[in-house]
Structures are given as C-alpha cells and as structure tokens.
Homo-oligomer: A and B are copies of this chain.
Amino acid sequence: MNKILRVDVSKMETRTEPVPEDYQLLGGRGLTSRIVLDEVEPTCHPLGEQNKLVVAPGLLGGTRCPNAGRFSFGAKSPLTGGIKESNAGSSCAHKLASLGYKAIIVEGRPDEDEDFHLLYLSDDGAELQPAEEFAGMGAYELNDRLRKKYGDQIYVSCIGPAGEMRMSAAGVSNNDPEGGPGRFAGRGGLGAVMGAKKLKAIVMDTRKVFESPIKNREAFQKAAKKFAGILTSNKISGEALTNYGTDVLMNILNEAGGLPTQNFRRGRFEGAPRISGEALAQIAMERGGVGTPVHNCHPGCVIRCSNIYPDKDGNALCSPIEYETAWALGANCLIDDLDTIGLLNRMCNDYGLDTIETGGALGVAMEAGVIKFGDGKGAIHLLEEVGRGTPLGRIIGNGADSVGKAYGITRVATVKGQHLPAYDPRAVKGIGVTYAMTTMGADHTAGYSVASNILKSGGFVDPLKPEGQVDLSAKLQIAAAAIDTLGLCIFTSFALSDNPEGFPTVVDMMNNMYGLSWTAEDILELGREALRVEKEFNRRAGFTPAHDRLPEFFRTEPLPPHNTVFDVPVEEMDRMNEQFNMLQ
C-alpha cells in the first residue's frame, strides 16, 4: 500500500501520489477520517463538489491476518451532515490493498447531465471508463453484466439506483468471495456521495489477494496463525456467530427485553424466534441449495458469521441476513416471516440501500399509517417505490428522519439523523451512550457495549442501570476506532477482550508487518486519534454536545418488559467528550 489514487471526476482524470509520511501508519477508518478532515470543507454540501469520497483498506489489509478484510469508505455524510466512516468485509478490501492502494480519493463533481463512469483498477493501473450502459441497474444485474464484460475474476464495489438517485439511505455494495453483492458499507448515505460523483462502480481486476508487503513475513504468519486459533477458540466468535450468524442475537436480545419492537414501543417481540438465527439456520439446512448458513464475507475470515439465505427452491435469495437486518425489517416492523425479510433484504441489496436505515424508515412509515405494522406485502410495495424513485419512494429512501419530516411524526429513533440499530437504549444503556455520542450518528459498531451489557464479554456492566455505561462506551469507542483502522472485523473484539493473548498477537502482527516496536497502547492511540479527528471535523461542521442526545421519548417513555427509561446523566456523557477534544 504505497500509493494514493486521486480520481477527479470533474476533469475525468486519475493520478497516483506517494503516501505522505503522516499517513503511513494510518489505514481504514483512521485514514479516511484523517483525509476527510484534511481535505473536505466541513460546512460543504455532502452532495456537492467540495465533498470527497475516500476508500481505504485497513493497516492489516492484503495480509493473511485473519478477519482483516474490512475496508472503509469515508466522506461528509448526506444523512448526518457530519463525518462518516462506513466499512464492509469484502474480497475487495484485500484486492485494493494488494494493488497497492493505501487510499482512493474521489473528488470533484461532474455536470448533472454527464454520464456515469466506473473506476477500473488492474495490475496495470487505474482508469475511468464509461458506465452509462449500467445506469439505473440494480446491484445483482450490474455484477452479472460487469463479469460478462470484464471476466469472472473481478471484484466490484458499486451503487444501485438508490445511490444514483442520491438517497441518504444509499450505501456502497461490495462483493463477497463468491461475487455476491451483499457486503455493504451501508450507513450514512455514502452511496449517495458516490452517486453525486456519478461513479457507478469500482472494478478490481487482479488475481492478487494477500500481496501487501510484510517486513518480517515468517514471524507475521506465525502470529496470524496464532490469532486464528484465538478467534476460533472464543465462545462467541468461534461458536455462536459461526453456528448461527449474527442473527443469533435475536433470541438473546428478546430474552434480555432489549429487542426494539414496533418502532421502539416494546423490548420483546413474540415473533422473534421465527426470525432468529436458529430459525434461519434450520431453514437454510432444510432447503439445502447453495450453501450452509456458515459463510465468510472475505478470504481469511475464520469466524464465518455470514450466511446465504435460500428461497423455497433452495436458490440463493440473498446473502447475508444479518441480525440488524432481521430486526430492522422484522421486529421493528412487526414482520415475523424470514422469507419476507429475505426478499426485503434482497431488494435493499439490489437497490443499494442500508437495511437498518430502510427498516427504520419503513417503521416510521407504519407509524404514520402509510401502511400497517406487520404488513410485509406493503413493505415490499414501498421498497418497489424506492427503486422506481417515486415521491413516496424518495421519502422512504432518504431514511427515517425523512419519513418523520414528511408525515410530521415525532417517534423517530435517530441520532444525528441516523437510525438506531437493533438494541433499545433503555434496556441496553451502554449502547445508548454510544448511539448518542459517537461521531457517526446512531451506530452500534462504534462502541459495541452489548458485549459487556448482554454477552458478558470483557466483563459485565448491568444493562439496566445508568452506572458505568459512559466509561464502558468510551473504552469501546476507542477500541472500535482502532479495530476499524486496522481493518479488522469488529467480532475479533470478543477474543481481544477475553483472551489475554489476543491483543498482544495483533500488536505482534503490526510490528512484524511494519517493522515497529509498538505496544497495545500504540494501537489504542490509533483509536483515540481517529475519534479526535472525527470530533474535530464534526465541531467544524457545527456539531455540539446538544447533538449528542437520544430522541426525547427514550428518557420519558418506559420500555416494557423492564419499564426502564434511558437515564444516563447528560453531564456524565458530556464529560466523555473532554478526553477527545484535543487534536494532536
């Protein structure tokens, strides 16, 4: 990863630059956020020419470190108006790193009547190529067509119609190892930024997978092997997630009374077992077909929490159904049928929509009476409207706040304009702190307190009490930012927390890859610095502690069955910011 690729879509030019000294030991989120702070005017329009879309593999990208195949997209977010990093596990991550790209910076904006283009990356370099023939195409057809044109060896990052229409719920779709388009950098509307740049796809045409240069290769491989063992011997990352995927959480959160049901009215959903990971695994097993529920999103993943959901004939309907998706399109909307959820998921994948934001938007549309709660057919119809870009479709496709605004609804579970994921902050209070305070808008991955609140990984903090949640969230926000900078999967964190050899092994890999003599503290400092950078961007963009708040109903309306409200003191939350205020 020795070069930065700058893609100017105003001038239709690409050029490579050497990596500046102070970016050398940054990657993934740490690098996208740093470049956004350094190069993007914080008050600019997210869809305007001053915004930039930055893509970066993690520091461990393009290596055989297990579960290091996540890469980051960064920009100013059209959904939140703040800085955004959204990452995905995909074959594309290692490809990009192996092609030597530390980062891609897409800048400028073509005139509105310009054609779409795609960025073609191969061992021979980078080139913008016409892509108007693919305009309007869903991700499934697009991937088929691109493989016909460029060959089966390619991997693709792309947008669907939602991104082309610059909808704020649009994400960037990326390929799994089989070439399926289900691996999403979903959150924050970065697909709309890509659409505004009139960039339909990035095509990576190379056989290289694990080609990042490594200073001490032998020692690195030894540590990588050890790390694989650490991950697979952990009960969560080696058993629960592997056997049932992330949707194993459905029954767990339901049992804990923290499963947001019917647009955050209750913490339990009677249909939960029918849309759980256990149910999903059973259906997949029974229907046979394309694969077991155990599936990995990128080469080198040993957790394999992804799945392929087969339809009644055993053919792949979509991949994967994640817990967050099964919740957003399921419990949140009172839909308890996995086939309906699978179809809605497929439609989101095809149109290029974040399933969390879309499920949230559907829930608010149900709240407004556009369709009834539980109306699966109605939900499918609403998503079709999104794909067609009708006025109603645009209301939905711009996310939950957009629907709330259109229909004058106050019961909208968003922070900084981004919809809450699948954990009710009144029953899992640590995640409420994360939702409120992360730079990203409501985001579970930015500080996954569910680990300690519910799964008792990394200690236990009572999810129903306000005490200890701020410290827990702060610690996890730092860890998450570090992990996102390394390009590691967030699910490595269970083993990193619970196995004393976990973190030192990651340090080992970093030292052997880059010839460093870092300690764990240096890794954590990557996370702290990423947070400082992001908070500084948001400060310049106009964010204050007044934005670090949950919607008011979480503090006033008790959540059954525990009948608790979110009561972490605001003052305690605001003090957390002090440790991230000084940009170094």
> Which stretch from A40-48, A54-62, A114-122 is at the chain B interface?
A40-48
CA distance A15 to B445 in the complex (A): 50
CA distance A192 to B196 in the complex (A): 32
Min CB gap A436→B, angstroms = 11
List residues 155-197 of chain A with CB under 8 A from any CB of chain B.
Answer: 165-168, 192, 195-196
Q: Is A558 an interface residue (CB 8 A)?
A: no
Min CB gap A539→B, angstroms = 8
Q: Across the interface, which residues of B come within 8 angstroms of A551, CB to CB?
A: 45
Which 4 pairs, one residue from A and one from B, show the smallest C-beta to C-beta distance? A166-B408, A542-B546, A391-B392, A391-B391
> Which stretch from A6-14, A134-142, A398-406, A495-503 is at the chain B interface?
A398-406
Asked whether, in the complex, the Cβ of B391 is within 8 Å of the Cβ of A398, the reply is no
Asked whether, in the complex, the Cβ of B408 is within 8 Å of the Cβ of A165, the reply is yes
Asked whether, in the complex, the Cβ of A168 is within 8 Å of the Cβ of B390, the reply is no
14 contacts between A and B (CB under 8 A): A42-B546, A43-B552, A45-B410, A45-B551, A48-B552, A165-B408, A192-B408, A394-B406, A395-B395, A398-B406, A542-B543, A542-B544, A542-B547, A543-B544
Q: Is A232 an interface residue (CB 8 A)?
A: no
A402-B410 contact, Cβ under 8 Å, with A544-B544, A546-B541: no
A408-B195 contact, Cβ under 8 Å, with A395-B394, A552-B45: yes
Q: Across the interface, which residues of B come within 8 angstroms of A391, CB to CB?
A: 390-392, 395, 406
Closest to A109 in B: B410
Min CB gap A76→B, angstroms = 12
Q: Across the interface, which residues of B come within 8 angstroms of A405, CB to CB?
A: 168, 398, 402
Asked whether, in the complex, the Cβ of B406 is within 8 Å of the Cβ of A44, the reply is no
Q: Is A549 an interface residue (CB 8 A)?
A: yes
Q: Is A514 an interface residue (CB 8 A)?
A: no
CA distance A392 to B551 in the complex (A): 27
Closest to A46 in B: B410
Q: Is A50 an interface residue (CB 8 A)?
A: yes
Q: Is A540 an interface residue (CB 8 A)?
A: yes
Q: Is A407 an interface residue (CB 8 A)?
A: yes
Asked whether, in the complex, the Cβ of A48 is within 8 Å of the Cβ of B547, the reply is no
Asked whether, in the complex, the Cβ of B552 is within 8 Å of the Cβ of A546, the reply is no
- In the complex this chain forms, how many copies of it are found? 2
CA distance A130 to B168 in the complex (A): 41
CA distance A156 to B167 in the complex (A): 41
Q: Across the interface, which residues of B come within 8 angstroms of A166, CB to CB?
A: 407-408
Interface centre among A192, A390, A407 (most CB of B within 10 A): A407
The digit string for A526-562, where 1 denotes a CB below 8 A from any CB of B, is: 0000000000000111111111010110000000000
The digit string for A421-437, where 1 denotes a CB below 8 A from any CB of B, is: 00000000000000000
Asked whether, in the complex, the Cβ of B47 is within 8 Å of the Cβ of A410, the reply is yes
List residues 368-401 of chain A with CB under 8 A from any CB of chain B.
Answer: 390-392, 394-395, 398
Q: Across the interface, which residues of B come within 8 angstroms of A543, CB to CB?
A: 542, 544
The digit string for A15-52, where 1 denotes a CB below 8 A from any CB of B, is: 00000000000000000000000000111110110100
Closest to A164 in B: B408
Q: Across the interface, which residues of B come within 8 angstroms of A540, CB to CB?
A: 546
Min CB gap A404→B, angstroms = 9
The digit string for A68-91, where 1 denotes a CB below 8 A from any CB of B, is: 000000000000000000000000
Closest to A50 in B: B552
CA distance A542 to B549 in the complex (A): 11
CA distance A381 to B407 in the complex (A): 20
Min CB gap A370→B, angstroms = 8
Min CB gap A205→B, angstroms = 30
Closest to A393 in B: B391
A167-B408 contact, Cβ under 8 Å, with A542-B543, A542-B544: yes
Q: Across the interface, which residues of B come within 8 angstroms of A546, CB to CB?
A: 42-43, 540-542
Asked whether, in the complex, the Cβ of A196 is within 8 Å of the Cβ of B408, the reply is yes
Interface centre among A398, A405, A407 (most CB of B within 10 A): A405
Closest to A48 in B: B410
Closest to A550 in B: B43
Closest to A549 in B: B43
Q: Across the interface, which residues of B come within 8 angstroms of A41, CB to CB?
A: 552
CA distance A48 to B553 in the complex (A): 9
Q: Across the interface, which residues of B come within 8 angstroms of A552, CB to CB?
A: 41, 43-45, 48, 50
CA distance A395 to B398 in the complex (A): 12
Interface centre among A47, A394, A408, A542 (most CB of B within 10 A): A408
CA distance A196 to B409 in the complex (A): 10
Min CB gap A51→B, angstroms = 10
List residues 275-312 of chain A with CB under 8 A from any CB of chain B.
Answer: none
